[in-house]
Amino acid sequence: MKVAVIGSGGWGTALAVMLAKTGSEVALWSFDEKEYQRLFNDRENRAFLPGVLFPEGMKCTNDLSVAKDADIVVMAVPSFAVRTTARKLSEYITDKHIVVNVSKGIEKDTSKRLSEVIEEEISASCDIVVLSGPSHAEEVGRGVPTAIIATSRSKKAAETVQDVFMNENFRVYITDDIVGVELGAALKNVMALAAGVCDGLGLGDNTKAALMTRGLAEMVRLGIALGGKEETFAGLAGLGDLIVTCMSMHSRNRRAGILIGQGTGTDKAIEKIGAVVEGYYATQSAVELARRVNIEMPITQEVYKMLFENADPKEALYTLMTRDKKKESNTAWK
Ligand SMILES: NC(=O)c1ccc[n+]([C@@H]2O[C@H](COP(=O)([O-])OP(=O)(O)OC[C@H]3O[C@@H](n4cnc5c(N)ncnc54)[C@H](O)[C@@H]3O)[C@@H](O)[C@H]2O)c1
């Protein structure tokens, strides 16, 4: 298979290297001319994935027309760049292409899922597949065993992606729940910021377990209200990704949260991370979506206040701990 990977940050690079090693003919496209030159000369992405050498034959390019000859086009740009990149890509995409989105987020201004954004911008009626799940680039780059999920309206397209991406260290499951997978991918980053804040405040494992569990409950509430399936949130795109992103130091969102919990202001914390912190954008979208469908998301609300209204993390914690008494689930005593 010919694969064009559009976006040479950590994730695009890790997937390009993995696919090249798995036998695909791969070209990795960089948005930035200087980034392209560095990758071309070093045969390694020293900024985002140091130590992972590019296999022989893997191409680097900054020419988007590389997508024309590919069978599969993987979009691995940050969520804020998905619409502009898809628009530019559109002239090279035909009905025969499969476009795979691996970016995790919700579009800020429209609160649309990224596959919806891609569908709007690409004029061909190609199949769109979304790949998500617990998968840090740093580990996939080193061949650490990983399981992930692919979803699409087309079962055939999801199966093609499963075939092309799967290898002995990378297991791909498939599902038809696009809404659940995309919302899980975006919302877990909000919880990762909150988990980081817990760590930055020096709180304990009990606190983080409570945060992840109650965080998942609000992810499920919003996901179901928007048409996702509950079971997806118990799977790789929900619980799986939530665990990895709330626990791992590879998570930029968690690391940004740690800095915020330690008293670093939001802007400075994000600047210090030096890579895309998707939870920052996802928090705004989650609050807007929850408002539209009238869903309570108390943790998300507090993360919003910390990020955008300068709320004190300790105050946020106090607000959450002293909310009205609740049943754990609405089905109790019914
Ligand atoms: N890093 C991971 O482990 C990982 C895993 C799964 C999913 N993702 C998702 O993949 C997406 C990309 O993340 P990443 O970690 O590879 O990013 P990164 O922070 O490592 O790199 C950002 C990349 O975006 C490029 N870029 C900046 N502005 C751009 C623009 N306007 N148009 C196009 N490209 C632009 C930069 O040149 C750089 O290559 C995110 O949505 C992220 O959530 C990341």
pLDDT of res. 178: 98
Task: Give the residue numbers marked as catalytic.
Answer: 188
Cα first-last separation, the chain: 54
Rounded to an integer, the average pLDDT of 310-327 is 96
CA distance 109 to 20: 36
Confidence band for 325, pLDDT divided at 50, 70 and 90? very high
Report the sign of the C-alpha dihedral through residues 192, 197, 201, 206, in that order: negative
Position 275 scores a pLDDT of 87
Question: Which atom of ligand 1 approaches the CA of 189 most closely?
Answer: 43
> pLDDT tens digits, residue range 88-114?
999 999 999 999 999 999 999 999 999
Tokens of 158: 């999801």
Give the tens place of pLDDT for each residue, 172-184: 999 999 999 999 9
From start to end of 153-232, where are the E strands?
170-175
pLDDT at 82 over 90: yes
Which numeric CATH code is attached to 2-176? Answer: 3.40.50.720
**179-321 homologous superfamily:** N-(1-d-carboxylethyl)-l-norvaline Dehydrogenase; domain 2 (1.10.1040.10)
Residue 92 corresponds to which amino acid?
Y
Mean pLDDT computed over every residue of the chain: 97
Kindly tell me the burial class for residue 253, based on how many C-beta atoms sit within 10 Å of its own C-beta (0-12, 13-18, 19 or more).
buried
CA of 165 to the centre of ligand 1 (A): 19
Q: Is 108 exposed, middle or buried (0-12, 13-18, 19+ CB in 10 A)?
A: middle
Three-state DSSP class for residue 168: coil
Pocket of ligand 1, candidates 5, 6, 8, 11: which has the most ligand atoms within 8 Å of its Cβ, to mutate?
Answer: 11
**Contact (Cβ atoms closer than 8 angstroms) between residue 102 and residue 132:** yes
The segment(s) of the chain belonging to CATH 1.10.1040.10 are 179-321
Average pLDDT score over residue span 278-306: 97
Q: Are 45 and 10 in contact (CB under 8 A)?
A: yes
Residue linked to tokens 């009990």:
206
Adjacent-strand bridge partners of 101? 75, 130
Distance 78 CA to ligand 1 centre (A): 4
Per-residue confidence (pLDDT) for residue 160, from 0 to 100? 98
User: Where in the sequence of the chain do the CATH 3.40.50.720 domains occur?
Assistant: 2-176
Which whole number is the average pLDDT over 244-265? 96
**Residue 127, beta-bridge partner list:** 98
Largest pairwise CA distance in the chain: 65
C-alpha to C-alpha distance for 246 and 251, rounded to whole angstroms? 7
Is a pLDDT exceeding 90 seen at residue 276? no
246, amino acid identity: C
Average pLDDT over residues 219-241: 98
Quote the percentage of the chain above a pLDDT of 90.
Answer: 98
Concatenated DSSP letters of 41-101:
HHSEETTTEEEEEPPTT-EEE--GGGGGG-SEEEE-S-GGGHHHHHHHHGGG--TT-EEEE
Phi, psi of 169 (to 5 degrees): -110, 5
Task: Provide the strand spans (E) within the chain.
Answer: 2-6, 25-29, 44-45, 49-53, 59-61, 72-75, 98-101, 127-132, 146-152, 170-175
Contacts of 214 (CB under 8 A, 6+ apart): 298, 299
pLDDT at residue 314 greater than cutoff 90:
yes
Place of tokens 């509430």: 221
Residues with CB under 6 A from ligand 1: 7-12, 31-32, 35, 48, 76-79, 81, 85, 102-105, 135-137, 275-276, 278
Pairing of strands 146-152, 49-53: unpaired
Q: Please give the pLDDT value at position 284.
A: 96
Best mutation site among 31, 73, 84, 190 for ligand 1 pocket (most ligand atoms within 8 Å of CB):
31
DSSP designation for 239? I
Task: Quick: pLDDT tens for 134-187.
Answer: 999 999 999 999 999 999 999 999 999 999 999 999 999 999 999 999 999 999
By three-state DSSP, how is residue 147 classified?
Answer: strand
Q: Listing from the earlier edge strand, what are the strands of the sheet with 170-175?
A: 59-61, 25-29, 2-6, 72-75, 98-101, 127-132, 146-152, 170-175
Which residue's structure tokens are 């969520």? 79
In whole angstroms, how far apart are CA 14 and each of 52, 144, 273? 8, 11, 19
